[in-house]
Structure 1
Amino acid sequence: MPPKLSFLDMPAPAGYVPGLGRGATGFSTRADLGSAHRATDTDIPDDPERFRDPDDAGILGRESADADDELADEIYAQIDARMEERNKKRREIREEKERQEEEKQATIGGMFADAKRALSEVSHDEWLNLPESGDQTRKNKRARIEAREGLRSYNMSDSVLEGLRGRAEIGAHVTETDDGSVTHIKAISDARDKILDLKLSGRETSTSIDPSGYLTSLNSENSQSTSELADIKKMTPFVESLIRSNPKNAAGWIAGVRLAELKKKPSQAIQLAAQGCENCPTNEDVWLESIRVNDMVNARIIAAQAVKRLPESVRIWEAAADLETTEEAKKRVLRKALTSVPQSVQLWKQLVNLEDEEHARLLLRQAVVSVPLSVDLWLALARLEDHKAAEKVLNRARKAVRTAPEIWIAAARLREQVNGAQKEVDKIMKKGVSELEYHGRVLSREEWLTQAHICEKEDAPLACGAIIRATVAQGIDKEPEHVQIDTLLESSRDLSYPVTSRSVLELATEMFPFSEKIWLTWTALERRLNSGDQLWSVLEKAVTSCKKSTQLWLYYIREKWHHGKFKESREIVSRAFEEVGHAQEIWLEAVQLELEVGQPDRARDLLEKARDVGVARETLWVRAVRLERELGKAPAAISLAEKALEEFVECDGLWIELGKAKTESSGVPEARDTYIQGTKNCPKSVALWILLAAAEESRGVQIRARSVLEQAALINPYNEELWLARVRLELRAGNIAQVKVLLSRALQECPQSGRLIVESIGLEPRSHRKSKLVEAVSKNENDGYILVLLAKSLWLRNQFDKASKWLTTALEMDSNNGDVWLWAYKFFSERGEGVDEVIEGFKQAEPTEGEVWSSLKDDIGNFGKTEVDLLKEGSSKLDLGSK
């Protein structure tokens, strides 16, 4: 057996080329081949080890592998497969990104793909007219001359134009030069023109000089010019290129003129304007620009040339007339203009405005013949004619322009001026609306309301009402009744036009005479307008139409009563008893009326009569008990209350009055027992619980008072009155820590309570109150207590104007809060202004809420005082506090 050869000593296999795997190329020579004999397998020594893998030998050779090695190989193979699977998704994502990046790298062919597609649309003539590419390198003299003189132009690629189109919409407007090149520059020129206009208008200053600030103004102007210098340099090549590329484009010349003005080169601006007129003789903007930049003498010459070139240009004729310094000269120019443009309404108006009334009438007669469709000219002529001639003019106008509502409105106003007959005015408007609809002109309700407002402002109330009656109800007859009523009421909301609002409401009451909602709205309107007799007239019609409306009867009684007409008020009360005698509100109003006129005995008789006829229910019983207390007869009040409680045991008002009567008669202990009994029968009455707690506190038993309020809170959760009572109880006890805890819990249950928020702000450190107050106002902008707190803080800082503003806002937002009125009266009375307005607004609002205000009204010591007296006395007791 031959010895085993090492690897390096073994002969190379047939056809082996060294380094073939690394890119080498094999070759052979005659010396390598020797004879032409081809080697065969018999020529190679038989060595069974020659094809053996060298890795199978040695320490790591496979011959020494055992079962553990096989297991390890299997485990490694599984790990490799697992890692391959984990990296597969990541690799795919990476490969996809690489592929997309490669696609983004556009080839030369791809860059011009859009141009190639566009070639399919090129016609045969366009192919023949394609310009030669020429010498792009500018190596010869001719190319340099052409480049310097701007005689060459180059086409931009479609990709560039597409990008510009996205920014400035250049693709929508193009210009074409003589050599066939197309450049999209319209939008660029318009934008540049606008920029120049803005800059020029920004630099316009007054001709007057303020010596004290002259140097400062010069410095500011210089700094502004410095900041604009870079923009001017950037705009210059754009404008020059625009003019060279298309001298027939007027926008380029105008931009050049204004750029020259920015550069403060007036002579250059004049020259560019003249060149623009030469190149664009049919463009009126260029002529107007040239007129503007020249002096008066040259401008007149240019205007004369312009009107020859463009005799039908109204703007040029107007500019020419403006150049004249005398009215006669202007008239002469305008008359000449009208010979060229007789259909120009604007020129006719300007000429008419320069004439006296007689000549203006003659001119307008010619104008309506030349421009028969101009409504303004017809109306102007009608205003200058007498009544009979004006009617004829309007009749002619109506036939010439059958779709103009202004003509019919003018006819109605003319009839109003002639005889003031409402029926005739209404007849004209109804006919006019019908004619307009026949000819296809239908105006919306809002448009007719606008016309009515115009008539009202111009003191034509009959025409205003006629418009309303003829138009406002149109289109709602098919709607349900409540929708029709709401639509009509919506049209009467604007109080700045009372005639229009009254006309709408009058129409509404004619359509729905038994609608209490409409009558109440009309009554509220008249009350806000403080119309006096007009209000009483409306109320008389209202109670006649809606005889069973308790609220309308109450309004009627109060209005007569508040104006001191007590006798008439009693008569209205008697009428109300006949119609709605079962209504407790009427009985209560009658009782209050008698007390106002100083007749408490008659008031007591009325209450007794109500009990006898069976009308008296809880409210009347409570009022009767209170009246006895107010008259100082506590025993009679107790007897009456106990009698009433036999029938109305669940009436908390009776328990409250009984407890107060016992306090006045016997003292707190008996009242406490009454309140305990009352809370058992009326556990939902918060007022009773608070009175019981106050009775316990007055006995010195704060623990008991605290327990009462906690029990009440369990029965009546989310009640701000109880939370306030608990907070103030702890404040009186000096438990500040407990107060903060209670306020935190209270604001969680009642986050919108203005009084709780005010209490919490009062406990904040002074440095934090302002921010807390601002936050509270932003979240509760309609709460009167918070707005008053803000006004008080401004008041203390002597910021009276701001305080007045916020108090006024509080009155508007929370007019039913009597406390707001108290603070407003205190502020304005101390300032010595606006007091009468506050009192009048207070009477109109008739507030029923407010913590301080309610306590003033409940105090029997104020019996016999008017609400205005309570307003004045209560405001004097308010404490503004300190900073």
Structure 2
Amino acid sequence: MERKAFLDQQPPPGYVAGIGRGATGFVTGGDSGALETLNQFENSDSENENDVSDVGLLAGKTKDDDEAEKIYEEIEKRLSSRRRDNQVTKVEEEDQLENRFTDLKRALTTVSEDQWKQLPEAIDLTKRNKRMRLLEQSRQRFYATPDNLIAAQSGINTNENKKSLIDDLINNDDIELDNQMADIEHNRSLLRSLRNSKPGSASSWIASARLEVKAKNFVMARKFINEGCKRVPTDESIWLESIKIHQNSTDGNKLAKAIVDTALKHKSTSEKLWIKALEFENPGDVNSKRRILMKGIEQLPTNVKLWQLMIELQDDEEDVKKMLTKVIELCPTEWSFWLSLINLSDYSEAKTIINRARKEMKDNHQIWITALKLEERENNTISEDKLIKMLSKALKQLDANTDESRKVTIRQWLDEAAKAEKEGFLLTCKAIIVNCLTESSDFFVEADYYITKKCFQTANYIYEYALSKKPKDIVSWMKFFNIFKSLENFNVQDIYKFYIQAIEFNPEQEVFHLMMAKDKWKIEGDIPGARKILDTALEKFPGKEDVWHAKIKFEVKNKCFENARNTSDKMMESITTPRAYFKHIHLLRFLKLDAIQFCDKGLSEYPEEEKFYLQKGQILHQQGKLEESREVYSIGTNKLPQSINLWLSLSRIDEELKIIIRARSVLDRALLKNPDNDKLWVEKIELERRNGDIIAARQFCSKALRTLNKSPLIWVEHLTLIPKMSQRKNAFLDALNATDNSPIILMNIGLFFWVDGKISKAKSWFERALTNDNTNGDIWGWLYNFYSQHGTKEELQKFLNEFQQHEDSINRGNTWNKVAKRVENLDKSQHDILVETAAHLKRHSTM
């Protein structure tokens, strides 16, 4: 920037910078004469130096100076007058303030005790200089209290504060104290007062010592506790506290042991002190421990704990028996000693001891349970009826000798039964259940509770009892048989006795015949025996369709196809239901016999039954008559437009005929009739994928997802159409949320992780899917593939064992049902269906 020329010039005379903006500078225009005089003074010769007082700034007073002094004097007078007024006002205000507080103090005489208790403490949230402020507050925590209020209170508040502090310190060793000086000093003051007023109270000394421990003042803590031991030597708690405090010091155990010895001289009847003395002995010095315990028992001959410790130190069984014999005389109501002696005695001695115990403790139910266990253990020929009668007698005696408040509840008795089961006393378990349950008991609730506890025999006996009271309850029988067969070592012969009972009580029910035949076949492997049971059932229930189908299935699975054909032909002579027709046609197709006539007969009698259209179309398709097959499906869709299977069959045969446009048209018409069916949408998406139009497939999938957002099948299609695994992860969460954690989604997430190489994650998701739904065969199939490839032989075998337990209930899964319903698989086992399902899933996976 160019420098202005005037900046290098001399300023004019009298110039003051900024005067145009209101600045006055250091010199005004009225002071110009004085400025000149000052300049003259500064420039004067040395000869004038001795006479400088007569000129310039040091010259004598002028007229202006006199006027200025008068002005200053007036200002001073005004200021003095104002100060005098302020002093008077301040004195008056102080007098008024003093009078006001005098009134307030006088008003305190009317304050009640409750109002005084409710006075709040001052709160400070600034946290600045907290330590000094708290200390200052503690010093200033004094109030001018009227005499009548002090008299009314009589020290109650102080005592309550002391008591609260002592309770905290005595009852809670781990109490966290505020380690601020103000609180510590305040608590010390309270405890000091208490010690002075009640020096014989052990609690005040213990509280004082614990306060010092919390304050890290261990020397003072030991001083207080030692003084307390001198003043209250017969209190065990103060000695125990002294042991605890000294144990943490140098040579702690040595000091503590000496303290215990001293304590026992003053308090020899303290169980806790004797046990403490035992703790300080060398763990390997059994003799010293025995001596201490014997001294303790001499002082406390009926102390249960000391006797228990003494018995534990004995090595010889005979010594233990002798000791127990003495102990039950000294402690006749302690059941544990009686039980120990019973367990160490032979059968006859044990019975004698039990009878003695029963006389000593007439209200103890454990005695009778032990008696039952003894009989079951020692007498192999004893019957369950005898044990039931024994306990029935016991219950009457217990009821007569037990207060109502101490009587054993039903659940407590059942817990004893469950305990007996776990100990192997099954007859005792049953005897307890038979005696404690009543007809008003909720058998299902009780049985289910013990199933969750893995006490299956207890649950089984509960149902057995329920059946004796309600023998015509079919649901109870079914649950009973299921639980019975889940027992680890159940006797297969026993279950037939229960089947016979169920049949006798329910002669009109064919289900028990079928269950018995199946168990005879599956569990025992007795094929002739199972066939005999089924033949008997057919004679008894010739009009029951389930019996016919069971017999046909039994013969087919055992490769007795001629028997199956003859049975099916006989069925069709008397039963012509749609199901009977369908099963008969299916068998004929399996045997490669002509079944078209039965399809036509079925259609003539049941024109609204989709299965006959499907069967006839499939037969014609197998014969290579595609156009005729298509015609059957077309007629079926016109007749039954709500049949999804017929629409799908019609579309697929058009696709097989390479008429893709017509296949699309079929699905479009199907969706017009059934717009909310997800299987049709999936087929439409899959059709485009099979024909290479991924863009169209995605478009249809997006459209389907908007209208069927909760369908797991649509979400699976959506996930498979996402190209990258990284993009799928957010979609996984959306799919789970939309389908409420559908097992199908869980299974497919596992499959995605498997394809991505995340083996452990894949396993986790597959197992979650199976846990959510163990009836879905597709999940079983994928897990079979997974364990076959990545599992050990043991893991695969465990998986197959689990499958065997659930195979009868597996009836879901698109691929599983497709495989299971194939005509050629009619004689296949469930394991064979599993293997084929797994192979089909692997071949046709879209991942």
Both proteins in one fold, TM over 0.5 = yes
Q: Is the 8 A contact 1:696 1:702 kept in 2?
A: yes
Q: CA deviation at 1:183?
A: 4.8
Q: CA deviation at 1:826?
A: 1.3
Q: Distance in 2 between matches of 1:588 and 1:684?
A: 29
1:406 counterpart (360, 363, 366): 366
Which is worse superposed, 571-580 or 371-380? Answer: 371-380
Structure 2 residue aligned with 1:298: 255
Instruction: Flag the 1:739–1:447 CA change in 2: closer, same or farther, 3 A.
Output: farther
Q: CA RMSD in A?
A: 4.0
Trace 1:784-803 onto structure 2 (pairs within 5 A): 784-796=743-755, 799-803=758-762
Q: Distance in 1 between matches of 2:731 and 2:173?
A: 50
Q: Distance in 1 between matches of 2:169 and 2:645?
A: 75
Structure 1 residue aligned with 2:550: 589
Q: Is the 8 A contact 2:819 2:836 kept in 1?
A: no
Which is worse superposed, 867-876 or 336-345? Answer: 336-345
Trace 1:462-541 onto structure 2 (pairs within 5 A): 462-473=427-438, 475-476=440-441, 484=442, 486-487=444-445, 489-490=447-448, 493-494=451-452, 496-529=454-487, 531=490, 533=492, 534-536=494-496, 538-541=498-501
Q: Is the 8 A contact 2:778 2:837 kept in 1?
A: no
Which is worse superposed, 539-548 or 495-504? Answer: 539-548
1:244 counterpart (182, 192, 204): 192
Length-normalised TM-score, structure 1: 0.70
1:344 counterpart (289, 303, 307): 303
Q: Distance in 1 between matches of 2:730 and 2:167?
A: 51
Q: Distance in 2 between matches of 1:412 and 1:754?
A: 57
Q: Is the 8 A contact 2:633 2:647 kept in 1?
A: yes
Q: Distance in 1 between matches of 2:557 and 2:548?
A: 14
**Secondary structure of residue in 2 paired with 1:493:** helix
Q: Distance in 2 between matches of 1:795 and 1:233?
A: 65
Instruction: Flag the 1:734–1:271 CA change in 2: closer, same or farther, 3 A.
Output: farther
Give the partner amino acid of 1:665.
Q
2:742 counterpart (752, 771, 783): 783
Q: Distance in 2 between matches of 1:675 and 1:383?
A: 79
Task: Please say if 1:460 is aligned against 2:428.
Answer: no
Give the partner amino acid of 2:261.
A
Q: CA deviation at 1:822?
A: 0.7
Q: CA deviation at 1:758?
A: 2.4
Q: Is the 8 A contact 1:720 1:756 kept in 2?
A: yes
Structure 1 residue aligned with 2:391: 429
Q: Distance in 2 between matches of 1:747 and 1:280?
A: 83
Q: Distance in 1 between matches of 2:107 and 2:758?
A: 72
Give the partner amino acid of 2:528.
K
Structure 1 residue aligned with 2:46: none
> Which digits, 9 at most, give the CA deviation of each residue in 1:320-378, with x for residues without a partner?
22223333332333333334334432222222222343333333334333333333333
Instruction: Flag the 1:808–1:467 CA change in 2: closer, same or farther, 3 A.
Output: farther
Task: Please say if 1:728 is aligned against 2:686.
Answer: yes
Q: Distance in 2 between matches of 1:597 and 1:731?
A: 42
Q: Distance in 2 between matches of 1:365 and 1:157?
A: 72
Structure 2 residue aligned with 1:133: none
Instruction: Flag the 1:108–1:666 CA change in 2: closer, same or farther, 3 A.
Output: farther
**Secondary structure of residue in 1 paired with 2:774:** coil
Q: CA deviation at 1:676?
A: 2.0
Task: Please say if 1:840 is aligned against 2:801.
Answer: yes
Q: Distance in 2 between matches of 1:701 and 1:175?
A: 107
Q: CA deviation at 1:253?
A: 5.0
Trace 1:800-839 onto structure 2 (pairs within 5 A): 800-830=759-789, 831-832=791-792, 833-839=794-800
Q: CA deviation at 1:238?
A: 6.2
1:556 counterpart (516, 521, 533): 516
Task: Please say if 1:872 is aligned against 2:832.
Answer: no
Q: Is the 8 A contact 2:447 2:458 kept in 1?
A: no
> Which digits, 9 at most, give the CA deviation of each residue in 1:138-182, with x for residues without a partner?
xxxxxxxxx9xx9x9988899xxxxxxxxxxxxxxx9979xx953
Q: CA deviation at 1:242?
A: 5.3
Task: Please say if 1:118 is aligned against 2:95.
Answer: no
Task: Please say if 1:664 is aligned against 2:664.
Answer: no
Instruction: Flag the 1:609–1:406 CA change in 2: closer, same or farther, 3 A.
Output: same
Trace 1:602-621 onto structure 2 (pairs within 5 A): 602-612=563-573, 614-621=574-581
Q: Distance in 2 between matches of 1:626 and 1:257?
A: 92
Q: CA deviation at 1:641?
A: 0.7
Task: Please say if 1:756 is aligned against 2:721.
Answer: no
Task: Please say if 1:287 is aligned against 2:242.
Answer: no
Which is worse superposed, 260-269 or 300-309? Answer: 260-269
2:613 counterpart (655, 676, 687): 655
Q: CA deviation at 1:747?
A: 5.1
Q: CA deviation at 1:739?
A: 4.5
Q: CA deviation at 1:518?
A: 1.7
Structure 1 residue aligned with 2:731: 772
Q: CA deviation at 1:657?
A: 0.5
Instruction: Flag the 1:557–1:649 CA change in 2: closer, same or farther, 3 A.
Output: farther
2:174 counterpart (197, 202, 209): 197
Instruction: Flag the 1:810–1:526 CA change in 2: closer, same or farther, 3 A.
Output: farther
Which is worse superposed, 300-309 or 496-505? Answer: 300-309
Q: Distance in 1 between matches of 2:112 and 2:479?
A: 72
> Which digits, 9 at most, give the CA deviation of each residue in 1:501-556, with x for residues without a partner?
22112212222223221221122223434647255554454445434434433333
Task: Please say if 1:317 is aligned against 2:274.
Answer: yes
Q: Is the 8 A contact 1:539 1:552 kept in 2?
A: yes
Instruction: Flag the 1:822–1:242 CA change in 2: closer, same or farther, 3 A.
Output: farther
Q: CA deviation at 1:743?
A: 4.4
Q: CA deviation at 1:596?
A: 1.8
Percent pairwise identity: 26
Q: May I ask how many residue pairs the two structures share in their alignment?
A: 696
Q: Is the 8 A contact 1:856 1:862 kept in 2?
A: yes
Q: Distance in 1 between matches of 2:154 and 2:657?
A: 100
Q: Distance in 1 between matches of 2:584 and 2:114?
A: 103
Instruction: Flag the 1:618–1:244 CA change in 2: closer, same or farther, 3 A.
Output: same
1:858 counterpart (793, 818, 821): 821
2:329 counterpart (369, 374, 387): 369
**Secondary structure of residue in 2 paired with 1:581:** coil
Q: CA deviation at 1:235?
A: 7.5
Which is worse superposed, 457-466 or 331-340? Answer: 331-340
Q: CA deviation at 1:255?
A: 6.0
Structure 2 residue aligned with 1:329: 288
Instruction: Flag the 1:497–1:740 CA change in 2: closer, same or farther, 3 A.
Output: same
Q: Distance in 2 between matches of 1:339 and 1:685?
A: 92
Which is worse superposed, 772-781 or 689-698? Answer: 772-781
Q: Distance in 1 between matches of 2:635 and 2:102?
A: 99
Instruction: Flag the 1:643–1:723 CA change in 2: closer, same or farther, 3 A.
Output: same
Q: Distance in 2 between matches of 1:334 and 1:319?
A: 11
Q: Is the 8 A contact 1:196 1:255 kept in 2?
A: no
Give the partner amino acid of 2:428.
A
Q: CA deviation at 1:854?
A: 1.1
Q: CA deviation at 1:240?
A: 3.9
Give the partner amino acid of 1:852.
T
Q: Distance in 2 between matches of 1:521 and 1:875?
A: 32
Length-normalised TM-score, structure 2: 0.73
Structure 2 residue aligned with 1:26: none
> Which digits, 9 at most, give the CA deviation of each residue in 1:557-595, with x for residues without a partner?
333333543222211211221233322222222222222
Instruction: Flag the 1:280–1:711 CA change in 2: closer, same or farther, 3 A.
Output: farther
Structure 2 residue aligned with 1:382: 342
Trace 1:207-218 onto structure 2 (pairs within 5 A): none
Q: Distance in 2 between matches of 1:768 and 1:343?
A: 76
Unaligned stretches of 5+ in structure 1? Answer: 1-105, 123-146, 159-173, 200-227, 477-483
Q: CA deviation at 1:735?
A: 5.4
Task: Please say if 1:358 is aligned against 2:306.
Answer: no
